[in-house]
Amino acid sequence: MASTVTVACVQNSAGPEIDPSMAEATRLVRAAHERGAELICLPEYFSCLKTSDDQFVVGALSEAEHPALPHYRNLARELGIWLLLGSLAIKAAADKVYNRSYLIDAAGEIAARYDKLHLFDVDLADGESYRESAAVAPGDHAVVAPTPWGPLGLSVCYDLRFAYLYRALAQAGAVFLSVPAAFARTTGQAHWHVLLRARAIETGCFVLAPCQCGTHGGGRPTYGHSLIVDPWGRVLADGGDRPGIIVAQVDTAEVAKARAMIPALGHDHAFAAPAASTPR
């Protein structure tokens, strides 16, 4: 198993139409490949996104119908790269979709699927609110997928706030964690960098976090600042707030070094749950 790999995150600004959004994402994948990237990660809903106060458009299609899958399978095979399709909206039962991440190998085969577990139902300041569960059905299991450079633990966006998921992925063998996102600008400015660095530090993993930027045919912007973070919590690359790519060469030997210095993954200790307090 190779210990060094050049990784990249694509930072695009998808709109409500699939074809132009895919064309821009494809251009950026090719640019990352030209810079030597062997594992390239795309953001959440990279192929279609419109957000506004009363509308949430993500281009929902069945897996068999979605044009992104054959297109990017062919692209991975053509370029000889591994591709993380951050997420696509895949039709589920009961008029909902799965927010589904795909890992495509260099032969163009689907190496893993992951359905987002935690859904973004929040009420922020100034009336800004989101109800992802109104349109999305949650997944029911975590996923760690093999790659030529070590296992990759999959997650999507709001999953980032649930540290136990990443601990479970690391304890299942992950050396990379993917966190594709379309993080809201409001929460991104406050929490994105610190949460991603924390997940890297807690697990001793490399974190690959491609995020959309700009506005998307509606009134709500995403944050950008795609990040590549090393197992010690150092930011190796930051995508800023405009479309583009970030690239870094990483050495998975750094995972073992970080975990040897801080072996917290082996220090779990059983404890009783706290009892509910009784008002006096």
Annotation marks residue 44 as catalytic:
yes
Per annotation, catalytic residue among 9, 48, 116, 211: 116
Annotation marks residue 48 as catalytic:
no
Q: What is the DSSP letter of 201?
A: H
Alpha helices by DSSP H, listed for the chain, are 18-34, 68-79, 163-171, 185-187, 193-203, 253-261
Calpha distance 212→183 (Å, rounded): 7
Buried b (16+ CB within 10 A) or exposed e, 255-272: beebbeeeeeeeeeeeee
What value, to the nearest 5°, has the Cα angle with vertex 72 and ends 66 and 74?
110
- The strand pair at 176-178 and 152-154 is best described as parallel
What one-letter code names the amino acid at 237? A
What value, to the nearest 5°, has the Cα angle with vertex 24 and ends 56 and 151?
80
Annotation marks residue 24 as catalytic:
no
For residue 169, report the phi and psi dihedrals to the nearest 5 degrees. Answer: -65, -45
First to last CA, the chain: 60
Per annotation, catalytic residue among 9, 24, 38, 44: 44
Could you tell me which residues come within 8 angstroms of residue 33 by beta carbon, excluding any fewer than 6 positions away? 40, 79, 81
C-beta atoms surrounding 153 within 10 Å: 27
Note whether 46 and 86 are within 8 A (CB).
Answer: yes
Q: Which tokens go with 236?
A: 């190796």
Per annotation, catalytic residue among 41, 48, 157, 211: 157
| Residue 82 β-bridge partners | 39
Residues forming the active site: 44, 116, 157
